[in-house]
Homo-oligomer: A and B are copies of this chain.
Amino acid sequence: MSYNTTGRLLRLTTWGESHGPAIGAVIDGCPPNIPIKASEIQYWLDQRKPGQNKFTTQRKEEDKVEILSGVFEGLSTGTPIQLLIANKDQRSKDYSDIKGTFRPGHADLTYWHKYRNRDYRGGGRASARETAARVAGGSIARSILNSICPNIKIKGYLIQMGEHKIVRDNFDYDAIGKNAFWCPDAKMADIWSDYLIEIRKSGDSIGAMIEVCAQNVPPGLGAPIYAKIDGDLASAMMSINAAKSVEIGDGTNVASLRGSQNSDEFFLENDKLAFRSNHSGGILGGITTGQDIICRVAIKPASSILIPKEAVTLKGVATEVVTKGRHDPCVGIRGVPVAEAMMALTLADHVLLHRAQCGAIKDYQF
């Protein structure tokens, strides 16, 4: 039972506060002889890194990762991999005025309730800075998948920002990396750009919906009943800062559907099993079908805004807060690489679990 560890056999433990000397992750359970390069972890960290464009916080963090253990001559040894990311651009004084105040929508109040102790600088442990450690861990998970199930492809993207949803007919995988929003709809990306500038100017923030798709996942991953892969994804995704929902496949929409609409019928195509649809999001009974895994996560608008809000001090006095500091107007954007990392971690974990109980991973056969 660990508070700061996720995964069953591939165990990611993250540590560190926003304004401490460093943050990091230990990954335990990595198979041996997996190629691990700092440059590759860095590649994924750079996707999440702040200060990359005008739509994200201007905190300047290099987010440079150091591998302190578990890798020898470029290969994982099977022992714990410690990844350390030094904090460089902490402006802790930005936070001195909130030292004695609970900010609405933040974890200030609840950490105080729980611990009667609180590292108030930048949200401490509750800061989204912790997600850098997830992305680093996710890179290890990708390397594991690459060795065992090399066809798996994981892709995250934003499908909604505030009132603007993408048009599914415009969906283009190649567009995702070509705009500041991981948006698969190039036209919508332009609309979001104007929209987000307006929101930032008004001192406000906006929510977003992330979708992550995993392709070419072998069938048979996951396990009943409390190790269902959708149960594990739900927990992994909901643990992301500001996440308020997790959906698999048709998600909330299934409440509106009839059984005759929702069943994903199958048939034979070139002697292989094929599906007419994928309402299930690639998971039945907690186990993968071999179809794309589709998962969506709603990210609430950041609570750090320039618009004054009612608050209360630690001493129980009414006050008002305006969050200065350097913040993302849409935290959902930088949440995309984080959600991808959580998908990679969950899949790699279940690949190992499957090997344990059922032996080698196989493709479907009659």
User: In the complex the two chains form, is B162's CB within 8 Å of A70's CB?
Assistant: no
Cβ-based interface call for A231 (8 A): yes
With A209-B255, A300-B262, A359-B355 known as contacts, the answer to whether A15 contacts B77 (CB < 8 A) is no
Which B residues are in CB contact (< 8 Å) with A115? 32-33, 77-78, 358
Closest to A235 in B: B235
* Interface SS, A side: mixed
A99-126, CB < 8 A from B: 102, 104-107, 109-111, 113-119, 124-126
User: In the complex the two chains form, is B284's CB within 8 Å of A9's CB?
Assistant: no
Cβ-based interface call for A53 (8 A): no
Cβ-based interface call for A20 (8 A): yes
What is the interface residue range for chain A against chain B? Answer: 35 or more
Per-position contact with B for A345-362: 1 when CB-CB < 8 Å, else 0?
A: 000000011111111100
Which B residues are in CB contact (< 8 Å) with A69? 15-17, 20-23, 125
With A77-B119, A114-B358, A255-B298 known as contacts, the answer to whether A268 contacts B316 (CB < 8 A) is yes
Which B residues are in CB contact (< 8 Å) with A262? 105, 207, 300-301, 303
A304 vs chain B, min Cβ distance (A): 8
From A110, A253, A352, residue with most partner B Cβ within 10 Å: A110
Cβ-based interface call for A325 (8 A): no
Closest to A317 in B: B268
Other-chain contact of A16, B82, B260, B271, B289 (Cβ < 8 Å): B82
Cβ-based interface call for A286 (8 A): yes
- Jot down 22 A-B pairs with beta carbons below 8 A, ordered by A: A1-B8, A1-B9, A3-B223, A4-B79, A16-B80, A24-B68, A69-B125, A77-B124, A78-B117, A79-B125, A105-B264, A110-B288, A130-B225, A160-B256, A206-B257, A226-B235, A232-B235, A245-B245, A245-B252, A262-B300, A266-B310, A355-B359
